[in-house]
Amino acid sequence: MITSGLVNVFSDDINASLGFYQGLLGLPETFRTPLEGVPEHVEMRAGGFVLGVSTAEAARRVHGLDADVGRPAMSLVFWVDDVDEAFAAVTASGAPVVTEPHDTGNDNRNAVVRDPDGTLVELVAKRA
């Protein structure tokens, strides 16, 4: 029986990824290994969602995975209070723009950027 889960993103530069997810998006850290030095895996919480970031090197060494960094067939979606404000903050810090903030169906406003490894990150909020 499944009791919980998380999405794990692989990174070639975990410190850059942590700067994006923790520094820019403000996700609080809940787990890290190893505790000292550069981590190989860090978990963060966004409401009831858990995001893990692991080094591609650790994925190869520990699990035998050939992680194709930044080329997933998925995107990470984060609900935010204000899409335009969140988009401005992450792009001002260098996140590459995929789509500018725009209104979509269901009274949503969306924007899409890429994290430092190229993973798609979608920002969504209800329109005011």
User: Which amino acid is it at 4?
Assistant: S
The pLDDT score that the predictor gives to residue 119 is 86
- Give the C-alpha separation, 35 to 89, whole Å: 29
Is pLDDT of 100 > 90?
Answer: yes
Query: What band does 74 get if pLDDT is binned at 50, 70 and 90?
Result: low
Q: Are 69 and 53 in contact (CB under 8 A)?
A: no
Name the residue with higher pLDDT: 14 or 3: 14
The mean pLDDT value for 62-81 works out to 76
The pLDDT score that the predictor gives to residue 90 is 95
- 1-15, 95-109, 114-128: range with lowest mean pLDDT: 1-15
Is pLDDT of 99 > 60?
Answer: yes
The pLDDT score that the predictor gives to residue 105 is 77
Q: Which of 1-5, 61-65, 105-109 has the highest mean pLDDT?
A: 105-109
- Give the C-alpha separation, 65 to 84, whole Å: 37
The pLDDT score that the predictor gives to residue 109 is 93
Name the residue with higher pLDDT: 82 or 59: 82
Architecture of domain 7-126 in CATH?
Roll (3.10)
Domain ranges of the chain: 7-126
- Give the C-alpha separation, 86 to 113, whole Å: 11
The mean pLDDT value for 17-37 works out to 95
Residue-wise burial string across 83-120, b where 16 or more C-beta atoms lie within 10 A, e elsewhere: beebbebbeeeebeeeeebeeeeeeebbbbbbbbbebb
Q: Are strands 41-46 and 29-33 parallel, antiparallel or unpaired?
A: antiparallel
Alpha-carbon distances, residue 102 vs 46, 109, 122, 127 (angstroms): 23, 6, 12, 10
